[in-house]
A and B are shown apart, each in its own frame.
Chain A
């Protein structure tokens, strides 16, 4: 008879410590699905964090721009003509800052004044007798104010021409060339967060389109690149460049079936919107018609794009608005799919690096609306919402035709030469 509880306890405890039980076969599949959900939740958290960072940066940038434009330097950005010209032209807001005051009294002898406001030079004015009116420029930056005959603002450090001060006439190098525009190049770097989607058309009969749409969902995608603008007119530019785009597509679990390849080998056919692949897991000896289950997959697509766009520019003080439209050739550089194949409780990871029925390139229509802020005479910051829409399919002879499109928001910087 057992009266001692500790004896019972120890018997139960030893059984507890040694006991093992075989789990059901489907249990890992459930855990796997749960892990997918966790990954998705983590991914969404990441997206929210990035959105917050982006909003914060936009907020900080807005505050800086407002502070810089309205409080710190209220006179900056004022142009005489109201038109932005080339970086070497006159209307760049930074260059319109008057720096000093020069006067020639009626007796013709030169005189020089500094007019300051809060310790800064604010105006450079040259009075010239009416009979010898000269329009003068220094450093190729003429700003003419016709209402004040002979009134010239010097945008840079005041270095009155020696001949001008002595004779009341401008030197040869300082003579104005009215309305002159020199075409110039500018180079931009841009990074963009893209929300990519696609339009699928059935290429082959069947319900593949609905299945694929239900199975696939696009995740965070991004692109970055450099572009070169040929500013051939004051407000017009041609743009080209190279853009690297990374597209991530999440693919849900699916059942894949074994079929014979053209070589006679039997492989499982894994179908996606951007092509299909044959895989041969080592788990099973497959014969035609067999099936396997796959877990969720990550499908990475990398494109190198070559855009050609035309750009128009509207300038308002330090800001410019740049709508642009054009085409892009998008070259598929890489396509990979990582997934796990499951056979009962056994699993095997599979990485697909080659897709069939995928075109090497497709054409897209590109449009964007850039907002630029001129930091200095040559550098600008920009924010650029953009839209891309494929006009040719990126697949051929796949179960569906795939026309990707995307909406993006990018930030970047531009340097003019």
Chain B
């Protein structure tokens, strides 16, 4: 006396079934996008554990608001935005953004060898971004990855536009320094 619901492959049907609360379809949607979405969350989190917390909250939001998805954009992009919102919410709720302050290093120049950069893998770059403080990381990600303007970032994060600009500048300097450190280690590897 057993019946099984087949996994729905058609995206529109899958979305409708998810909206209806069909748990097996929701699991199917999760299976389809979990890897990509966790990939996004990783850039906004300090580590994988934190990224998974964001992913969990993000998927709950996805299922809650899925009926508002209008099929005009791709589902993946829509979900990605939800994940970023979940990440922003997490940092806002923990007031981690308050630590955003002026970077007081001297404008030291950190040289980075372009040929070495080509040998860096995405995971290495991710680890470097994860070393940024949450405030710098958010500004850098929103500006560089999402293409937002400083005015928009300032509004989202509740900071001044000038702070957003200076945070981006600082974040880039830090990244250059971290890349330079990485550069040295990597160059040794390549030379061998």
A residues with CB within 8 A of B: 1-2, 5, 7-9, 11-13, 15-24, 27-28, 30-32, 34-35, 38-39, 277, 279-280, 282, 295, 340, 345, 347-354
Contact across chains for B35 and A282 when beta carbons are under 8 A apart: no
CA distance A354 to B3 in the complex (A): 12
- Chain B, interface residues (CB within 8 Å), range: 35 or more
In angstroms, how far is the closest chain A Cβ from the Cβ of B67?
12
* Contact among A9, A19, A279, A282 for B144, CB-based, below 8 A: A9
Q: Which residues of B contact A7 (CB under 8 A)?
A: 114
Contact across chains for A31 and B59 when beta carbons are under 8 A apart: yes
Contact across chains for B125 and A12 when beta carbons are under 8 A apart: yes
In angstroms, how far is the closest chain A Cβ from the Cβ of B13?
15
CA distance A15 to B40 in the complex (A): 10
**Are A18 and B122 CB-contacts (below 8 A) given A12-B129, A27-B55?**
yes
CA distance A17 to B145 in the complex (A): 8
Q: Which residues of A contact B35 (CB under 8 A)?
A: 20-23
Contact across chains for A15 and B114 when beta carbons are under 8 A apart: no
Chain B interface secondary structure, helix, strand, loop or mixed? Answer: helix
CA distance A279 to B43 in the complex (A): 42
**Are A345 and B129 CB-contacts (below 8 A) given A23-B52, A23-B55, A27-B55?**
no
Chain B residue, CB-CB nearest to A7: B114
* Contact among A11, A20, A34, A348 for B38, CB-based, below 8 A: A20
Contact across chains for B2 and A352 when beta carbons are under 8 A apart: yes
* Contact among B4, B52, B114 for A27, CB-based, below 8 A: B52
Contact across chains for B24 and A348 when beta carbons are under 8 A apart: yes
* Contact among B42, B48, B60 for A34, CB-based, below 8 A: B60
Q: Which residues of B contact A23 (CB under 8 A)?
A: 34-35, 38, 52, 55
Chain B residue, CB-CB nearest to A339: B23
Could you write out 11 A-B pairs with CB less than 8 Å apart? A8-B179, A11-B117, A12-B129, A12-B145, A20-B39, A21-B48, A22-B38, A27-B56, A28-B30, A277-B1, A353-B3
CA distance A16 to B176 in the complex (A): 17
**Are A340 and B43 CB-contacts (below 8 A) given A12-B129, A21-B48, A31-B60?**
no
